[in-house]
Chain A
Amino acid sequence: MDRAMHPIPAFGRLMAAQLLLILTALFALITVGTPAAAAASVQNENMTVSLEAGPAHSGARTIAIVLTPKPGWHTYWKNPGAAGVESRAEWTLPPGATASDLRYPVPDRFVVAGIMNYVFKTERALLVDIDGLPASGEIGLTFDYLVCDDEICVPESANLAANLSDIGVEAGRIGRWQADQPTAHDGDARVEVQGDRLRLSLAVPQISAVSDAYFFPAVDGVVDYSAPQTASIAGDRIVIETATGFNPDADSVPGVVKLMLEGGETLGLAVDAEPGSVEAAGTPLLGGADETDPASGTGAGPATAPAPPLPLIFLAALAGGLLLNIMPCVFPILSLKALSLAKGGVSERAARSEALFYSLGVIGAVLALGGALLALRAGGSTVGWAFQLQDPRIVAALLLLVTAIALNLAGLFELPAIAVGADGLAASGGRSGAFFTGILAAVVATPCTGPFMGAALGAALVLSPLAAMMIFGGLGLGLALPFLVIGFVPALRRRLPRPGAWMERLRRLLSIPMFVTAVALAWVLGQQAGADGLSIGIAAAVLLGLALWWLGGARRKLIPAAASAAVFLTVLAVPTTLSNVGSADAAEGTVLAAAPYSPAALSDLQAAGDPVFLYFTADWCITCKVNERGALSSAAVADHFKSRGIRTLVGDWTRSDPKITAFLTSHGRAGVPLYIYYDREGRETILPQILSADDLLALGSGQDA
């Protein structure tokens, strides 16, 4: 350039136009020339590629190809996953020098619209070991790669050239790139293909610090990239399971197992899994410290249950609690409680304290139930939410309780102890009453747990106990919230209708949903304990009604608490005899010819190549029953299933069944209903919890016609 500029002064009279021409030409040369002229670093539109050379040894010298994608962009691992391509390097080396294959660092997962990609989103270096390289001299590299953001992909190419002495870096810097490389796994790694499942296991040091694990296969076709992977700990080994890809029968399966460790660290192990038997899955790893995946909406969720973030679960629990307020079993209690505050003469303080004590009762009861549930599970019992309803004795007790509330609402009797009506909450003595009403609301709400709780409570059971209790707390808070708000916001109270004779009528009216709840519980009892059990339950309810009428019918409110307690204990003693009564067969009322679920029954049908509709139900689950009375009992659905050869299996969870609990847990559920369709290839589709006949009629039409 100097030489080009030099002559200008000598031609002083050079015309301005000519000068301009020369400058333009020079400028053009510079701009066009840069990409063509190879440099040690090339800044392309979406990624910068640079060369660095490690210290010269007698043996191989390590060269780093440093990749820096623009923020929001990514480039690919050797196995790019379900889309993308691997990078290609073409070297121009001094005579006698030979380059190894590219050594890729441990990748990250990146899911775009459900497509799994194995990528690098931040600065990484691919390493190459080159034999016979002198201390100085020219090397050249043509590097072709694909770089993408969420929307588009751009193939770019970088022509690099450098003198080795110019790009030499200290050992420490190369060491930094080395640290991103996977560590060779020391010990045996085994892989086994069972049907359409690929199972892999390997011994891992410091296994207690591992919070999750993911297997990146180095070869294509081994796994279905978009299928979730499940990791568990069995002894000192990690077991990873996932769905196979189109070509699972490889002799050995190389790849990288990425371990997510406590505290956010990760460790990549390069494995070459040999065929062998893989132990059964152990304690599930739940991915608490999974690598973050900010740009991914769908989340590269590992784990059995795609666990949503904690605040979301808490909100779902809160919403679920709120929803419970309008359930037939809770609404009467809440509305009467609310109206009692509207009565004149309730001071600001009294209203607040009532609201607080009611909330305490609700939250306390829900937490107690949740705590009991967690304790039972910790003790090895396989129970789920509403587990208490799996015992006919408890159902009978609830039946009596609900009957008593219904009779009270209907005006048959007044009892201070369980009064939830207008009279029971006389201004000052309301604290314990409010607290008790809260507990009552929580207890009678359990049969009404809807689909909201399915997700939130399912999550609760696989989280740490503290987080789980937070979720139960959220549920309780949601349930208590309407009354809490009414108690604390006088403006709201003033908007409540004036009390009057209509309140008594409303109260009578509200006894109807309560009676309906009682009928539903009686039916559950009949299903659990048969006609005999049902008769005992109803007889007890009638006896209870008579007793209450006799005690309270004279409109005496001075019945000693001891007397009422005695009556209750007597009546409650009845249901304990129910435990020995045999169970009736459940899941009638649908016209689908359903066989009972067992893991063996399912695998037999699948082995025969039959499509299978599998569902889990329980008699105390109202959503289940709505579906069974609706979509599942449609004759059109039955015909459709018959013509398509779809076999139906039903798991009845009315009484606790560890096999079913295990299945539900593996699908991230703590409760029923759960509807699953397996097509002829055994592919699983989870159907909505609110089924429509159309959902069912669509089965078997597209996928395996």
Chain B
Amino acid sequence: MFKSFTAAALVVAAVSMPAFAQPQVGAAAPDFRAKTASGESVKLSDYRGKTVVLEWTNKGCPFVQKHYKSGNMQNLQQQAEADGVVWLTVNSSAPGKQGYVDGEAANAEMKEYKTSPTAYLLDPKGTIGRGYGATATPHMYVIDKEGVLQYMGAIDDIPTAKIEDVKGAQNYVSGALAALAAGKSPDPAATRSYGCSVKYPG
């Protein structure tokens, strides 16, 4: 009988909608645990005391390519890490969907683009992505040393996939990092992320 109950509960669960969290700027960033490309397990709270950037990626997405082929993302990352910022690249593409990587493919991707994030996090079930309400790639989050979310949204203010638009765009992430370093609050603190939708399972 309990089996039937469980089956029944599953049917009910299947009917309900997947819930999306909406994190808030000024509130604690949700903690999470994730596996990295090199097979380690990390928690966001491991980095308490440092500023953290979360970057949602999908190699197949033209908007992501815009910032990697132009070298914009790499520059941003190097600059940030030179300033002691932790950079976490997150991939929430589901297996079989655009941009999905396993650990090996993630390492190859980093090698190809010559990037060196603090860690490349594998989120094939989309748990972290949905927890943060990440909708697009690239989708950027900046979390301060106390673990409070300070910026979320687009990487810059020109929502195109054209490489030539990188120049002359206002980069919101470097702006947010500079503001935090100066002890101020980022402005803008939330923008619309632009790009491809995150390729979640389902």
Count of chain A to chain B residue pairs whose CB atoms are closer than 8 Å in the complex: 149
Q: For residue A623, which residue of chain B has the nearest CB?
A: B5
- Asked whether A85 lies within 8 Å of B200 as measured between CB atoms, the reply is no
Complex contacts, A705 vs chain B, CB 8 Å = 28, 30-31, 45
Which of B4, B11, B98 has a CB less than 8 Å from the CB of A326?
Answer: B4
CB A648 to nearest CB in B, in angstroms, measures 21
CB B3 to nearest CB in A, in angstroms, measures 11
Tell whether A686 is near chain B: CB-to-CB under 8 Å: yes
Complex contacts, A306 vs chain B, CB 8 Å = 15-17
- Asked whether B198 lies within 8 Å of A115 as measured between CB atoms, the reply is yes
Complex contacts, A704 vs chain B, CB 8 Å = 28, 30
Q: For residue A688, which residue of chain B has the nearest CB?
A: B9
CB A525 to nearest CB in B, in angstroms, measures 24
Q: A455-B15, A623-B5, A702-B32 are in contact. Are A117 and B197 (CB under 8 A)?
A: yes
CB A146 to nearest CB in B, in angstroms, measures 7
Tell whether A567 is near chain B: CB-to-CB under 8 Å: no
Complex contacts, B195 vs chain A, CB 8 Å = 83, 85, 153
- Asked whether B17 lies within 8 Å of A84 as measured between CB atoms, the reply is no
| The 9 residue pairs across chains A and B that have the minimum distance between CB atoms | A83-B197, A155-B161, A113-B200, A82-B135, A153-B196, A246-B190, A226-B20, A220-B192, A114-B18
Query: A114-B17, A144-B162, A226-B135 known; 5 other A-B pairs, CB under 8 Å?
Result: A85-B195, A155-B160, A301-B17, A451-B12, A705-B45
- State the B residues within 8 Å of A (CB): 1, 4-6, 8-9, 11-13, 15-22, 24-25, 27-28, 30-32, 45, 60-63, 94, 97-98, 126, 130-131, 133, 135-136, 152, 159-162, 190-202
CB A243 to nearest CB in B, in angstroms, measures 7
Complex contacts, B16 vs chain A, CB 8 Å = 306, 686
- Asked whether A450 lies within 8 Å of B19 as measured between CB atoms, the reply is no
Offer 16 A-B interface pairs, CB within 8 angstroms, sorted by A: A82-B135, A83-B136, A83-B195, A83-B197, A113-B126, A221-B192, A243-B22, A246-B25, A297-B202, A319-B11, A451-B8, A455-B15, A681-B24, A688-B12, A688-B13, A690-B9
Which of B8, B20, B22 has a CB less than 8 Å from the CB of A114?
Answer: B20
Tell whether A633 is near chain B: CB-to-CB under 8 Å: no
Q: A146-B161, A688-B13, A703-B21 are in contact. Are A452 and B8 (CB under 8 A)?
A: yes
Q: For residue A228, which residue of chain B has the nearest CB?
A: B17
CB B7 to nearest CB in A, in angstroms, measures 9
User: In whole angstroms, how far apart are the Cα atoms of A243 and B131 in the complex?
Assistant: 16
- Asked whether B27 lies within 8 Å of A681 as measured between CB atoms, the reply is yes
Which of B17, B21, B61 has a CB less than 8 Å from the CB of A298?
Answer: B17
Tell whether A245 is near chain B: CB-to-CB under 8 Å: yes
User: In whole angstroms, how far apart are the Cα atoms of A451 and B131 in the complex?
Assistant: 28
Q: For residue B66, which residue of chain A has the nearest CB?
A: A155
Q: A83-B135, A114-B202, A703-B21 are in contact. Are A450 and B5 (CB under 8 A)?
A: yes
User: In whole angstroms, how far apart are the Cα atoms of A689 and B31 in the complex?
Assistant: 26
- State the A residues within 8 Å of B (CB): 82-86, 88, 112-115, 117, 144, 146, 148, 151-155, 220-221, 224-228, 243, 245-247, 297-299, 301, 306, 308, 316, 319-320, 323, 326-327, 450-452, 454-455, 623, 681, 683-686, 688-690, 702-705
CB A92 to nearest CB in B, in angstroms, measures 18
User: In whole angstroms, how far apart are the Cα atoms of A164 and B64 in the complex?
Assistant: 38
CB A440 to nearest CB in B, in angstroms, measures 21
Complex contacts, A320 vs chain B, CB 8 Å = 8
Q: For residue B65, which residue of chain A has the nearest CB?
A: A155
Q: A221-B190, A690-B6, A705-B45 are in contact. Are A154 and B62 (CB under 8 A)?
A: yes
Complex contacts, B30 vs chain A, CB 8 Å = 702-705
Complex contacts, A327 vs chain B, CB 8 Å = 1
Q: A82-B135, A146-B161, A704-B30 are in contact. Are A450 and B8 (CB under 8 A)?
A: yes
CB A571 to nearest CB in B, in angstroms, measures 32
- Asked whether A316 lies within 8 Å of B11 as measured between CB atoms, the reply is yes
CB A332 to nearest CB in B, in angstroms, measures 14
User: In whole angstroms, how far apart are the Cα atoms of A297 and B201 in the complex?
Assistant: 11
User: In whole angstroms, how far apart are the Cα atoms of A85 and B192 in the complex?
Assistant: 10
User: In whole angstroms, how far apart are the Cα atoms of A151 and B199 in the complex?
Assistant: 7
User: In whole angstroms, how far apart are the Cα atoms of A455 and B15 in the complex?
Assistant: 9
User: In whole angstroms, how far apart are the Cα atoms of A636 and B192 in the complex?
Assistant: 42
Q: A82-B197, A153-B196, A243-B22 are in contact. Are A454 and B12 (CB under 8 A)?
A: yes
Complex contacts, A245 vs chain B, CB 8 Å = 22
Complex contacts, B159 vs chain A, CB 8 Å = 85-86
User: In whole angstroms, how far apart are the Cα atoms of A455 and B16 in the complex?
Assistant: 10
Complex contacts, A247 vs chain B, CB 8 Å = 190
- Asked whether B62 lies within 8 Å of A452 as measured between CB atoms, the reply is no
- Asked whether B97 lies within 8 Å of A689 as measured between CB atoms, the reply is no
